[in-house]
Chain A
Amino acid sequence: MNELDINHLIDNKTGRQSRLIFHEKQIYELEQERLFGRCWLFLAHDCQLPEPGDYFRTFMGEDEVLVIRQKDKSINAFLNTCTHRGNRICKADQGNARSFVCSYHGWSFGADGSLVGVPLEEEAYHNQLDKSKFGLRKVARVASYKGLIFGNFDPEAPSLEDYLGDIKWYLDVWLDAMPEGSELIGTTQKIEYAVNWKMPVENVCGDGYHAGWAHAGVMTVAASMNVGLSVGNTDMDASLGASITGMNGHSVLAILDGYAGYAFYPDPSRAISYLDTNRHTAIDRLGEFRGRNLWGANQNITIFPNLQILPGLNWLRVYHPRGPGKIEMWTWAMVEKEMPDDLKQMILDNVCRTFGGAGMFDNDDGDNFVASTRLNQGWQTRQQDVYWNMAVDMGKEHSRPEMPGVVSEGLVCEQNQRYFYRRWQEVMSAQSWADIPNYNGLEEARATEQR
């Protein structure tokens, strides 16, 4: 797959996409190398490994990694594979350990990744093994932003702060509205299903259009507030929401009423009383617009390429690719630390009931995504393009003084998906980070027009 091919797969001016991006193994492998090998990927939240020796086993793309809290409280991450014959080092999902012993020949590694023990080192290796050369392969960069820990395989990548850029302004609505910040709660909800990883990402990133139709059943029985969408897509109110891009592939789909994150609680009164009690604190810390309009409302925040954080609906999700046609989707509930325990438990339960394994919203989506992926196995089918072309030529994108990014009114708008794929195209066709453009705000919109 050469650069020319990547540029032909997607046409940002018309919203046309080749279905090959959901199917071809060659494109998938290039994604592993250039997207998952270069971008900052979510590893864990600080609260999941508070003490030295605490570890968490996860993935960066298809690479299995072990995230470990060090003695000095810093975090390191390593490929979870023995440097001798490649066996898995750590098999538990999480825990606490002083060292990790490979179950194949007994090589042992310290929490800092160093090779500390080799059975029969003297008798069989004759003390000729230079153990300093056989430590676990370290993930080049690990950094955190207000509790969210990320890793990056590329030493040349921009800093995490620069990579996140303007999206931090939206992220802070969850991470920084309250003085003690936020945490993830609940064990990891893991779901594997037969879908290309980009399908659920593009959906959550910008697809308000599907909500009234694909989720008509659950919207009928569970919606307790107006979110500007209607069952059966018979009507919409664009004034309640916004699609926001122009942030280097990151995006937000936001409702602006300050409450709608709790719209799918049959009785949201407990949450609303928490919001009303603490609204002034959020406004003091975030300013009038974010404190009043965004805090408590839902934001679908996408951190390019595979992390989605939904303050309001209160979940965080990472999509681990498993080949072009499969993913493992990991979800946690998230709360503000100051929330009372009963509200935290209520949020955890509601997240599981709406966006977990038996979640009434999630359970509507999978069947659609699976078919959109599976049908591309047909040779003729995958020669036919698909489109994100809603209002593509209408010039709806503009800036708003109160918020960073490129804004279109409403949740029903395919702007976010087009920007997601434009970033995909830029990162996939670049030889290195030096070739990947860095945009701010409307500059990105103008660049689209010039393409």
Chain B
Amino acid sequence: MSRLPVSSPVDTETYLALQGLLFAEARLLDNEQYEDWLDMLSDDVHYYMPMPVRYQRDEKENAARALDANIFNDYKDQLKLRVSRFRTGFVWAENPQNHLRHLVSNIEVFPGEIDSEWRVLSVVTVHRNRLDSEEHRMIVSRTDTWRTEGDQVKLAERNMVFNHAVIPDSNLNIFF
């Protein structure tokens, strides 16, 4: 990712508009309104979250490294497939419905590479409670590209960093 300036040069109105989109998106995901969520994504959306690996700080940059294994490396077709799986009614791990909350913070908005795009940084903390006291919290930092399409602004790219060395739950039947 190219280095971004320390402060964001966009006007308050733009900032609030994009912040509003992120909050609306979080609400749709919390409420499992997945079809509405898919409508917020551009048709060429790339939704990407590699599995992290820890190297020593001084590890040679040119050392042989494996391809990323990705927790998500999805385009719209794959995201639709995940949603259609939920909608079969056969995903037993989501029944009864789990408590799910997306807390979005650390939002920063920068102009995108072209006029109709914005680069939006945020951090999402996901709280999940399965049965009884079984709870998990996951933190993901996101670098988004949001793009104006007609009278809508749509998510065109989401590049995520999963801030855990090990996935702390038996399933990720959720989006970040």
Q: Which residue of A lies closest to B50 (CB)?
A: A187
**Per-position binary interface string of chain B over residues 144-176, scored 1 when its CB falls under 8 Å from any chain A CB and 0 otherwise:** 000000000000000000000111111111000
The smallest C-beta distance from A422 to any residue of chain B, in angstroms, reads 28
Q: Which residues of A are found within 8 Å of B166, using beta-carbon distances?
A: 190-192, 328
> Contacts A192-B167, A333-B69, A358-B172 hold; do A218 and B85 have CB atoms under 8 A apart?
yes
**Contact, CB under 8 Å: B69 / A188:** yes
Q: What is the interface of chain A mostly: helix, strand, loop, or mixed?
A: mixed
Q: Which residues of A are found within 8 Å of B74, using beta-carbon distances?
A: 353
Q: Which residues of B are found within 8 Å of A48, using beta-carbon distances?
A: 66
Q: Which residues of A are found within 8 Å of B167, using beta-carbon distances?
A: 189-192, 357
Question: Interface with A: B3-11, B13-21, B33-41, B76-84, which one?
Answer: B76-84
Residue B129 at the A interface, CB < 8 A?
no
Chain A contact-residue range equals 35 or more
Give Cα distance in the complex from A348 to B70, angstroms. 8
Q: Which residue from A186, A190, A353, A369 sits with its C-beta under 8 Å from B78?
A: A353
The smallest C-beta distance from B64 to any residue of chain A, in angstroms, reads 6
Question: Interface with A: B87-95, B101-109, B112-120, which one?
Answer: B87-95
CB contacts under 8 Å to A, within B108-142, are 130, 134
Q: Which residue of A lies closest to B59 (CB)?
A: A95
The smallest C-beta distance from B47 to any residue of chain A, in angstroms, reads 10
Residue A205 at the B interface, CB < 8 A?
no
Give Cα distance in the complex from A293 to B168, angstroms. 38
Give Cα distance in the complex from A184 to B66, angstroms. 9
**Contact, CB under 8 Å: B93 / A187:** no
Q: Which residue from B53, B67, B89, B168 sits with its C-beta under 8 Å from A94?
A: B53
- Chain A to chain B contacts (Cβ below 8 Å), 21 pairs: A51-B64, A93-B165, A186-B69, A188-B69, A189-B167, A191-B169, A192-B166, A214-B92, A217-B85, A217-B86, A218-B85, A220-B90, A221-B88, A266-B81, A331-B69, A351-B69, A357-B172, A360-B82, A363-B171, A364-B93, A364-B171
**Contact, CB under 8 Å: A349 / B70:** yes
Residue A309 at the B interface, CB < 8 A?
no
**Contact, CB under 8 Å: A332 / B91:** no
**Per-position binary interface string of chain A over residues 195-239, scored 1 when its CB falls under 8 Å from any chain B CB and 0 otherwise:** 100000000000000000010111011100000000100000000
